[in-house]
Structure 1
Amino acid sequence: MKYDIVIIGGGPAGLSFARSLKDSGLRALIIERSGIADLESPAVDGREIALTHLSKKILAEMGALARIPQNEIAPIKQARVINGNSSYCLEIDSGKEDVEALGYLVPNYLIRKALYEEVFTSENIEVLTGTTVLDVQIAPQQATVMLTNGDSIATSLVVAADSRFSETRRKAGISASMQDFGRVAIVSRMVHEKPHDQIAYECFHYGRTLAVLPLNGNISSTVVTVSSDVASQIQALSDEGYAAEVQAQFNHRLGEMRLVGKRHAYPLVAVHANKFVKPRYALIGDAAVGMHPVTAHGFNLGLRGQDTLFRVIRAAQLQGQDIGALNVLEKYQSKQMRVSWPLYTGTNEIVSLYTNDSVPAKILRGLVLRLSNNFPPVKQMISKKLTELGGHEEAGLPFL
């Protein structure tokens, strides 16, 4: 079997890249280990994606955004960051920034479903499910992807989108920096008595972090982040006990809170590949960079990355160049690395500072929030990175 591009992984990054190829004339194959039913009807996973304006624009151009019910797209009008027990907070308001919203919350499973529906209509994209990759071999003129079912597939370019723990990244000999935070994020939807007014909160308490993200109606997505040794105790609470914990931790701002649906737990490990490309091989999505969720930029970074890779190989294709050549792929690496590395390291520094409960760290935490709130250039930079209103060329430090 011969394809122009083989995409390993049918998650959001792999599906969005495949959708970008829809009108390119390039023949592509997605290889996904899960079954077709998981692509057609992804399970609810509890994760809400905070889309930036750039990500919303990309998804709209793909046709995927129109496939998501409007009542599942919730605008974020304000963002507030609270430090410890202090009543002081960093506040960013969409009204003051002269934008409709800072970002838009959309369930991850609905994004995956919409992207698959778009890919399914693409005549030049095929999907192979229930299959895993055994090995990838690179030769000067082509790459060969060997599957566990015994098949071999020849291609000009392999694009790996197989999670932050990418097996093919390791087999390709690409190293990665990894940080295990020793913490677990517990996510759930909660209905509450008082309106949230479309305000997102990030509360850096001592010993744990709470994010409250406004959905439509009196419903919020809550993310409780605790050390791994405490997570099992939190998960063992009854639904009523868990709701009471969140309600108290949020200082009863939304009145009585009640759990809706299941709780989902995710260990927090951040990964950044030390390079994104080799001849005939490229990394996208979490396989390239797996972010800590505190700045809400993981999905957005992956969506930007696949868009950058597509633009680079499309330009090479139109100029009659080899889309798998290293000099072509390095253009993608250069652009994406310029965005991802500051974002990755900056986010990890923020996490380190705001989960450090020593006295000097507590003082510094408060000073950082006050500087961000009261020094206009810093606040403007934060807002710009949070919304990605500057478009595809914007790079730099993350929210906070």
Structure 2
Amino acid sequence: MLDILVAGGGYVGLSVAAAIKQAAPHLSVEVIEAAPEDAWRKDPRASAIIAAASRMLEVLGAWEAIAPETQPINSMVVTDSQTGDPVRPVFLTFDGDAGGGDGRPFAHMVPNTAMTGALIDACNRFGVALSHGVAVSAFRTGEASTEVTLSNGETRTARLLVACDGVRSKLRDMAGIKYVRWDYGQSGIVTTVEHERPHNGVAEEHFLPAGPFAILPLKGNRSSLVWTEATRDADRLVAGDDFLFEEELERRFGQKLGALKVVGDKRAFPLGLTLARAFVAPRFALVGDAAHGVHPISGQGLNLGLKDVAALAETVVEADRLGLDIGSLAVLERYQTWRRFDTFRMGVTTDVLNRLFSNDIGPVRLVRDFGLGLVDRMPALKSWFIGQAAGVAGPGDPRLLAGVPL
């Protein structure tokens, strides 16, 4: 019998398996992933990893391999304008220091392939079993264990089943956990561009009438884009002519970095808010997007999942050291209490920000621009926002987020 079966071999699933196995080597942990073994090597995207998450990855021994491929975000600029405005006034700027005394920036841009590869290596090093090309087709929870049926007909028995299978989680439905979801009628276009001039590690977020347009620096003269549009417009742009796409892109990106060239796949992802009503059930835990999906306006979606990892790993490891049943509801409730309020708060925050900034109503624009300018002129408040964005760990937060081993 396994101690822990993790369903989902993305960053979150691999991270939670590595974190638990590193701190409690005697526990048996397996990760199953529906995608083929080498599918992750074809992912052209990059993700923003906040300082707290990079500290956790450092503890797991993964950051050393990731770091050479990263681009630190040295500063961030926030503007608010119409799409065709020739000048975009800057209302808010952040420097990149997250605090904490180690000079770490509040975020790095990390290629997804680098992060996945480093986490797979960590899992192999710690003795986590990895199985690809299989998914959970059913499970039945008993008093002392959960019996899991896989898509290939095999079965597993585990004391704890951890669902990391994404925002449309099938395991969440199998567990009977209800959730709240609504769509924004928006999609996020994700792609990579090359430009003539260096970005100097500056990230930009332009609030445009259709939604935020984020320019995130990558290594070299490249940037990752997260471009929010109404779903019908996003689908049209992605499916349409490359020349038209680049023309519309240039209108939003501007000319300050010189000529642009799209070098990555163009993909559009529907945007919405999803919050599970519960994160746990007997011998079952939701982690990452399976528990919550938020708007990318704050760049916190993946990082919320990595915070879940730190909380669940600490909950399980401490319970095991005390001789408690790691899959019992009484133990798992600590994880739920730790994470549910934070994710609810972030869900509400991103929802309000998206509604506030994804419009072109004159009086609303005046109020939001005044608010941005006020924050920019208050160093203490600005530092607090940077700390929140970086996930700076406080006294009651999971130890891994402060870079402290379990």
- Say whether the fold is shared (TM-score over 0.5): yes
Gaps of 5+ in 1: 396-400
Rounded to whole Å, the distance in 2 between the matches of 1:312 and 1:193 is 48
Cα 1:341–1:128 shift into 2, 3 Å:
same
TM-score, normalised by the number of residues in structure 1: 0.91
Selected match of 1:251 from 230, 240, 254:
254
1:322–1:212 CA distance, 2 compared to 1 (3 A): same
Partner Cα distance (1:392, 1:305) in 2: 17
What's the secondary structure of 1:36's corresponding residue?
A: coil
Q: Which amino acid aligns with 2:7?
A: I
For the pair 1:183 / 2:186, whether they are aligned, the reply is yes
Confirm whether residue 232 of structure 1 aligns to residue 206 of structure 2: no
- Which deviations, in whole Å up to 9, do the C-alpha atoms of 1:240-275 show, x marking residues without a partner? 442332222133121211112322222213311111
Q: State the match for 1:20 in structure 2.
A: 19
After the TM superposition, which of the residue ranges 94-103 and 193-202 deviates more from structure 2?
94-103
Tell me, yes or no, if the aligned pair for 2:98 and 2:106 is still in contact at 8 Å. Answer: no
CA distance in 2, matches of 1:61, 1:170: 33
CA distance in 2, matches of 1:118, 1:391: 27
Aligned to 1:220: 223
C-alpha deviation, 1:339, in angstroms: 1.9
The amino acid across from 2:106 in the alignment is L
Q: CA deviation at 1:187?
A: 1.5
Displacement after TM superposition at 1:391 (Å): 5.3
Whether 1:159 aligns to 2:156 is no
Kept in 2: contact 1:244–1:257 (CA 8 A): no
Could you tell me which runs of 5 or more consecutive residues in structure 2 were left unpaired when the two chains were aligned: 83-87, 399-406
Structure 1 residue matching 2:342: 3-state secondary structure: helix
Query: Cα deviations across residues 88-107 of structure 1 (Å, max 9, x unaligned)?
Result: 32111136978452311101
What is the rounded CA distance, in whole Å, between the counterparts of 2:116 and 2:396 in structure 1?
25
Distance, in Å, in 1 between the alignment partners of 2:355 and 2:98 is 30
Matched, 1:67 2:69: no
What is the CA deviation profile of residues 170-218 of structure 1, one whole-angstrom value per residue up to 9, with x for unaligned ones? Answer: 1111111212111111112111122212110010112243111111222
The 1-side partners of 2:283 and 2:376 are apart by 46
* Secondary structure class of the residue paired with 2:254: coil
With over 3 angstroms needed to count, the CA separation of the structure-2 counterparts of 1:121 and 1:95, relative to structure 1, is closer
Could you list the per-position Cα deviations for residues 259-307 of structure 1 after superposition, in whole angstroms to 9, with x for gaps in the alignment? 1232222221331111111111111011111222111111111111111
Instruction: Identify if the C-alpha distance between structure 1 residues 243 and 377 changes in structure 2 by more than 3 Å, giving closer, same or farther.
Output: same
CA RMSD of aligned residues (A): 2.1
CA contact (8 A) 1:53 1:387 kept: yes
What is residue 398 of structure 1 aligned with on the other side? none
Aligned runs of 1:1-400 on 2, under 5 Å?
A: 2-23=1-22, 24=24, 25-38=26-39, 41-46=40-45, 48-68=46-66, 70=68, 72-85=69-82, 86-94=88-96, 99-123=103-127, 125-390=128-393, 393=396
What is the Cα deviation at residue 393 of structure 1?
4.1
Question: Is the CA contact (8 Å cut-off) linking 1:33 and 1:129 kept in structure 2?
Answer: yes
- Separation in structure 1 between the aligned mates of residue 136 and residue 145 of structure 2, nearest angstrom: 17
Which of the pair has the greater relative contact order for Cα pairs under 8 Å at 6+ separation?
2
**Is the contact between residue 93 and residue 376 of structure 2 (CA under 8 Å) also seen in structure 1?**
yes
Deviates more, 1:241-250 or 1:3-12: 241-250
Contact persistence 1:240–1:258 (CA under 8 A): no
1:315/1:394 Cα in 2 relative to 1: closer, same or farther (>3 Å)? closer
- In 2, Cα distance between equivalents of 1:283 and 1:32: 16
Using structure 2 for the length normalisation, give the TM-score: 0.90
Bigger CA drift: 227-236 or 197-206? 227-236
In 1, Cα distance between the equivalents of 2:270 and 2:179? 18
How far, CA to CA, are the matches of 1:307 and 1:389 in structure 2?
A: 13
- Give deviations 1:351-387, integer Å, cap 9, x for gaps: 1111132233222321221232223443222111112
Post-superposition shift, 1:31? 1.8
